[in-house]
């Protein structure tokens, strides 16, 4: 049962990714769009979620689009494979590695940092006098000691 749920979630996510990637491809310059094989475009269209409402914001550049991470990853792979020269591909790979290293470093820094507003609290224990009850025999013994002066 759990596996079916995961498969369904993955299918929904994949179809939404395809929808977003189709929108990105539709907004590419014709020279770039024509470099992507028709079979890839057709597969994206077949996977597309017709109920998912995503619109590419023409007033924003690619970096500022509200895209799923998976959509960015898939589009980057398509773009690198079909639209980039070898030199551009190497540069993109280098930037991806730098971004990964930066994210990893940021993640490590999060765990190293002490909370800034952390106040060290010193707990002072108040020593209260404890009334101890002496047993009858102990009290008698102490009185005898006092009587004999020891």
| Residue 56 covered by a domain | yes
| Residue 130 covered by a domain | no
Range of the domain at 55: 2-85
> Is the CA virtual torsion 84, 90, 94, 97 positive or negative?
positive
Per-residue pLDDT, 112: 75
| Residue 143 covered by a domain | no
| Residue 41 covered by a domain | yes
Counting the structural domains of the chain, the total is: 1
| Residue 49 covered by a domain | yes
Q: Which of 40, 29, 31 is nearest to 77 (CA)?
A: 40
Q: What is the pLDDT of residues 79-92, one digit of tens each?
A: 989 999 999 889 88
- The pair of structure tokens assigned to 65 is 């689009």
Q: What is the pLDDT of residues 94-105, one digit of tens each?
A: 888 888 888 888
| Residue 78 covered by a domain | yes
Least confident of 8-17, 19-28, 44-53, 109-118: 109-118
Phi and psi at 95, nearest 5°, equal -65, -40
Helical packing angle, 2-26 and 69-82, nearest 10°: 50
Confidence class of residue 75 from pLDDT cuts 50, 70 and 90?
very high
Interval 25-33 mean pLDDT: 93
Counting every residue, how long is the chain? 150
């Amino acid at each position: 049962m759990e596996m079916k749920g995961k498969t369904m979630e993955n299918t929904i996510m994949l179809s939404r990714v395809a929808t977003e990637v189709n929108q990105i491809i539709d907004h590419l310059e014709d020279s770039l769009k024509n470099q992507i094989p028709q079979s890839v475009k057709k597969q994206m269209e077949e996977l597309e979620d017709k109920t998912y409402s995503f619109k590419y914001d023409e007033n924003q550049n690619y970096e500022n689009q509200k895209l799923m991470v998976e959509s960015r990853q898939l589009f980057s792979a398509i773009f690198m494979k079909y639209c980039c020269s070898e030199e551009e591909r190497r540069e993109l790979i280098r930037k991806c590695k730098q971004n990964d290293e930066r994210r990893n470093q940021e993640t490590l820094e999060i765990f190293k940092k002490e909370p800034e507003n952390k106040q060290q609290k010193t707990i002072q224990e108040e020593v209260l006098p404890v009334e101890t009850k002496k047993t009858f025999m102990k009290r008698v013994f102490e009185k005898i000691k006092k009587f004999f002066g020891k």
